[in-house]
Amino acid sequence: MSCASSSSSGSGEEDEGFDAYRKGGYHAVRVGDVFGGRRYIAQRKLGWGQFSTVWLAYDTRSSKFVALKIQKSAAQFAEAALHEIEFLSAIANGDPTSSKCVVRLIDHFKHTGPNGQHLCLVVEFLGDSLLRLIKYNRYKGIELNKVREICTSVLSGLDYLHRELGIIHTDLKPENVLLVSTINPAKDPVRSGFTPILERPEGITAGVVMPNMIERKLKRKARRAVARISEGGRR
């Protein structure tokens, strides 16, 4: 927990639901799906926000795990992503050694799917949010030395953004401060010894259930119900 970083990824505290998986909305992702010219392979969902979903992905070029942020496809979300890319690019270019405690942009590209064209951002994979750490400690506080460490990192990042780049962070809150590692080592793909998935396993769907699958299940249930009613009438 030597450094904290700002991020706009979703909290992952609740499911985003199915309604926004439509034209202009989220892109439905399955474990093993490939992105960025087959460079990145989706491993599992990390979280979501009103603008995007965030996935743990494996970078086949660097052989490292990264966070893949997939923006909704509607124009207003794409415009927001372009602004984010502009800021994160400036941040990365001004901090080649990645020592300023601000999340690092690795790559960005467009991905076309059934719901439209989605801007995707690839950033370094970090740990849990400060909010999750607070909840993990049952709101009883954090050790003073850890508070000092976190505050030093946050202030260092804010100073770099403001003084050197002229960027003001307007959404500073516990869920937007990330630790450099996960609280639970089992959730860290490196510390847990997780073997990356290099292709989509047959029959596995992760993250969301596709709406057409739900529709087919409902239709099957309806047909069975009609069949039972018909059989009861014949008796």
Distance CA 13, CA 8 (A): 14
Exactly one of 15, 107, 128, 171 is catalytic; which is it? 171
Q: CA 201 to CA 203: how far, in whole Å?
A: 6
Give all strands of the β-sheet with 116-124 in edge-to-edge order: 34-35, 40-48, 52-59, 64-71, 116-124, 105-113
69 is in an annotated binding site: yes
The string of DSSP letters for the chain reads: ---EEE------SS---STTSSTTSPPP--TT-EETTTTEEEEEEEEE-SSEEEEEEEETTTTEEEEEEEE--SHHHHHHHHHHHHHHHHHHHT-TT--SSSPPEEEEEEEEETTEEEEEEEEE----BHHHHHHHTTTS---HHHHHHHHHHHHHHHHIIIIIH--------GGGEEESS-SSGGGSTTTTTPPPP-SPPTT---S---HHHHHHHHHHHHHHHHHHHHHHHH-
Give yes or no: 159 in active site.
Answer: no
Instruction: Point out the annotated binding site for ATP.
Output: 69
Give catalytic residues, as residue numbers.
Answer: 171
Please state the residue numbers annotated as binding site: 69
